[in-house]
Structure formats: C-alpha cells, structure tokens
A = this chain, B = another copy of it.
Amino acid sequence: MKMYVVGLGPGDPEYITVKAVNVLKQSDIIFVPGSSADRSISKNIIRDLAERHGFSDTETVDLEFPMTRDREFNRMAWERNVSMIIGAVSSGKTVSYAVLGNPTLYSTFSNILEDVRKQGVEVVFVAGVSSLDACSSVAGMNLAKGDESIAIITYNDFMKRQRLDFDTVIIMKVPGGSAMIEEARRRFPEFRSCVYARRCTMPQQIIRDQPGEDQADYFSMIILRR
C-alpha cells in the first residue's frame, strides 16, 4: 500500500514541478487538507492543472485540519482524516495528498505521517518549492553562501531565544503582519537586513522592509540577514 504526498509549491500554479503534475494526473483521488483559506489556494492550483492536463474528473476530497488549542479535539479530527486516507488507499486507488510548499516542511501531513505509516502505508513524498525558497527569491535575497548558516524558527520560538548566532534567520508563522519588523529589529539589532514576506508568488504577495498597513496573515515570514 502506497500513497503520495505532493508539494504544490508556494502558490503560483507555474511553480509546481513536472513530477507533481504527473503524480496528480495519475491519481484517482486527491486529498486537499487545510483550513478553508489555504485549501482554496490548493484547489485553485489543482483546478488549473486539471484543466490543462485533462484530469478534471478526478475526485478531490477536503480534509479539515483544526489547529485549536484543544489538542484532544485536534487529535480526533486528525484520526478521522487518517481513517479516510487509509480507506481510500486500501480500496486500491492511487491516492495523493496535496499540500502547499514542500511536504516535509511545516505541512499538515507532518501531524499524521507516523499514524499513516503504522497502518502499513508507504508514504512517497514529492518535493515542492517551499515558501522559504519562494520568498527569498521574490525578495532577491541570498539565504546563504560559502560557509554561512541559516536558522528556521517559528515566531513563538523566536520570542523565547536570547541568541541567534546565524547569518540568516527565517521566522515562520509571523502573527502580526509587517508591523512585526519593528519587534524583530528591536530584539536583534545586529541583523542589517529585515524583510517581511507574505504569500510570495500569489496575487496577494507583499514584500516590505518597513512596517506597513497590511493585515496579519498566516502565510508570512520575516527574513533577517546579517
């Protein structure tokens, strides 16, 4: 028993790999996880590909992944998702699970990987362009060269750290929009460049090195560079 976890890339349908297109095209069923907001991005990408490559009749199934503070509630929903996936794989269908970005980096699938494996399913990851790669590319910033180093941390983790002895620091899941640039600069003034990047390659893309008037958005990061 086997299933595919397919990276759709950062949002622009052109940033999908040829491999991901081929796997989706061969699938009988495509699971689309997430909250309603990110799911609509994934679904737009899949719809676009389905039209171009002639697989518009492929069944897509929404999977709700609550991320509330109630871990028991989340757990139950995730277990329901695992059951649905196992049901589809067991029936002999070719099953894909489509995520934004790269599937090994902060994807919804990371929460259920071990559970799916325990049921005897071989998980095949199809790498995609991550939001990090997309945001640094759109911002025109090197992340690292030579012997330079990078730290990737969430905003929650960032607020706990006293030292960041890296050349580049990428703060994921920034809660407050580009206003958070000031917070990052205040805490770590040794970084010369600070860029807020949101939804890179998508129509709502924002790149700023000064605080602006934008709204908070889950798909956002701050890149600090020495």
Q: How many copies does the complex hold?
A: 2
Cβ-based interface call for A184 (8 A)? no
Q: Which residue of chain B has the shortest Cβ distance to A201 in the bound complex?
A: B127
Residues of chain A in range 126-159 having any CB-CB distance to chain B below 8 Å:
126-130, 133-134, 136-138, 140-154, 156-157
Which of these, B102, B110, B124, B129, contacts A145 with CB under 8 Å?
B110
Which of these, B13, B14, B106, B147, contacts A144 with CB under 8 Å?
B106
Please determine whether B129 and A151 come into contact, CB atoms closer than 8 angstroms: no
Cβ-based interface call for A174 (8 A)? no
A81-110 interface code vs B (CB 8 A; 1 in, 0 out): 000000000000000000000111111001
Please determine whether B145 and A153 come into contact, CB atoms closer than 8 angstroms: no
Cβ-based interface call for A21 (8 A)? yes
Cβ-based interface call for A16 (8 A)? yes
Q: Which residue of chain B has the shortest Cβ distance to A14 in the bound complex?
A: B19
Label chain A's interface by main secondary structure. mixed
Cβ-based interface call for A34 (8 A)? no
Cβ-based interface call for A18 (8 A)? yes
Nearest-Cβ distance from residue A161 to partner chain B, whole angstroms: 8
Please determine whether A106 and B19 come into contact, CB atoms closer than 8 angstroms: no
Rounded to whole angstroms, the CA-CA distance of A128 and B157 in the bound complex is 27
Please determine whether B149 and A153 come into contact, CB atoms closer than 8 angstroms: yes
Which of these, B128, B137, B157, contacts A125 with CB under 8 Å?
B137
Please determine whether B7 and A133 come into contact, CB atoms closer than 8 angstroms: yes
Can you name 10 A-B pairs with beta carbons within 8 Å? Answer: A16-B18, A17-B17, A105-B133, A111-B146, A127-B136, A130-B130, A133-B133, A148-B154, A149-B152, A151-B152
By a beta-carbon cutoff of 8 Å, the part of chain A in contact with chain B is 7, 9-10, 12-19, 21-22, 102-107, 110-111, 113, 123-130, 133-134, 136-138, 140-154, 156-157, 166, 201
- The 10 tightest CB contacts between A and B, nearest first, are A110-B145, A125-B137, A14-B19, A127-B137, A104-B136, A150-B152, A127-B133, A102-B133, A149-B153, A110-B142
